[in-house]
Amino acid sequence: MIDFSPTDYEAMALSARVAFSATLASIPFGFAAAYLLVFVRLPGKALLNGLISLPLVLPPVVVGYLLLLSLGSHSWLGGLLSEMGIRIIFTWKAAVIASMVVGFPLLVRSICIGMEEIDKRLIQASRTLGARWYDTLLTVILPLSGRAIIAGATLMFARSLGEFGATIVLAGNIPGVTQTIPLAIFDYTSTPGGDRMALGLCLVSIVLALSVLLFNEGLIKRFRRSNRP
């Protein structure tokens, strides 16, 4: 059995906390963005789609650096936040934000695919039965997107567990504060004799990722059972 140090355990707990928070906080926004992209007629929809997907194709370091510029104390937003007494940079919140931005496209794309599969005539049916748009959204679109939301959230959670580039730029690599599993592995690999510990953390990563996948499969199966027996 590998002897993990307290900071390793902290890294594991932090990774889980960051990934959970980032995923949970993103779901409402992801759902809203997917709804806009799939159901609402918008001018410049292609541009919006491009902006949302951009973090998927940009190097995470670039995303992290841009976030650092816009949230740093010299920026307008960062200034506003620090006046309100909120510090984001180099705290675990920064890791959450980095994960949110980087994982967001995966979540939105997943939900979009699910929403596109919804028969548009079901939406027409609900409207002719007297449901307003928000009513249709909550009683038809949301339940029928459930599977896609779970699938997207799983992808995003997994992506957040592995987030490295944007996190190290925005949150730094502070053991016990912002050091997640990937950052800890990075530290071990650059320390002589750290191979064993790095491998141990890799194993933890694999176990975590696998359990997320299994959990996701289970949820989807249950969802399918309750929706179409």
Partner 1 sequence: MNLEVCLEKRLGDFSFASEFSLQCRRVGVFGPSGSGKSTLMHMLAGLLRPDRGHIRLDGETLFDAASGVHRSSQRRRIGVVFQHAHLFPHLGVRRNLLYGYKRLPRSERKIDPETLVDVLNLGSLLDRRVTTLSGGERQRVALGRTVLSCPRLILMDEPLNGLDEGLKYQIIPYLKKVFAEFDIPLLFISHSLNEMRLMTDQVLELANGRLHAQSCAHDLALRRMGNNATGYANMFELRDPRPRNGLFGYRWGEQELLLTAEGDGLYELSSREITLFKRHPEAISARNLLHCRVMNLRKAGNRLAVELDCGGRQLVSQVVEDAAQDLGLEPGVEVFAAIKASGFRKLY
- Interacting residues toward partner 1 by CB under 8 A: 119, 121-122, 124-132, 135, 139-140, 143-144, 227-229
* Dihedral over Cα of 16, 209, 166, 50: its sign: negative
Nearer to partner 1, 84 or 129 (CB): 129
**Three-point CA angle 19, 24, 27, nearest 5°:** 120
Q: Tell me the C-alpha to C-alpha distance, in Å, between residue 6 and each of 2, 3, 13, 23, 203.
A: 13, 10, 11, 26, 17
Enter the DSSP assignment of 137: I
Residue number with CB closer to partner 1 (130 or 193): 130
The least distance separating partner 1 from the CB of residue 116, rounded to whole angstroms, comes to 16
Minimal distance, residue 219 CB to partner 1, in Å = 16
Q: Which amino acid is at 93?
A: K
Spatial CA neighbour of 137 closest among 25, 40, 222: 40
Which residue bears the tokens 């944007």?
166
Q: How far is the CB of 113 from partner 1 (least distance, A)?
A: 17
**Residue (6 or 229) nearer to partner 1, CB:** 229
Contact in structure between 39 and 141 (CB atoms under 8 Å) = yes
Specify whether the CB–CB gap between 111 and 34 falls below 8 A: yes
126 DSSP 8-state letter: H
CA 167, CA 95: separation in Å to the nearest integer?
A: 5
Query: Is the CB of 131 or the CB of 213 nearer to partner 1?
Result: 131
Q: How far is the CB of 221 from partner 1 (least distance, A)?
A: 16
- Distance of alpha carbon 150 from alpha carbon 223, whole angstroms: 9
Q: Which is nearer to partner 1, 74 or 225 (CB)?
A: 225
Q: Name the minimum Å distance from CB 225 to partner 1.
A: 11
In the complex, least distance from residue 139 CB atom to partner 1, rounded to whole angstroms: 8
Q: Which is nearer to partner 1, 40 or 129 (CB)?
A: 129
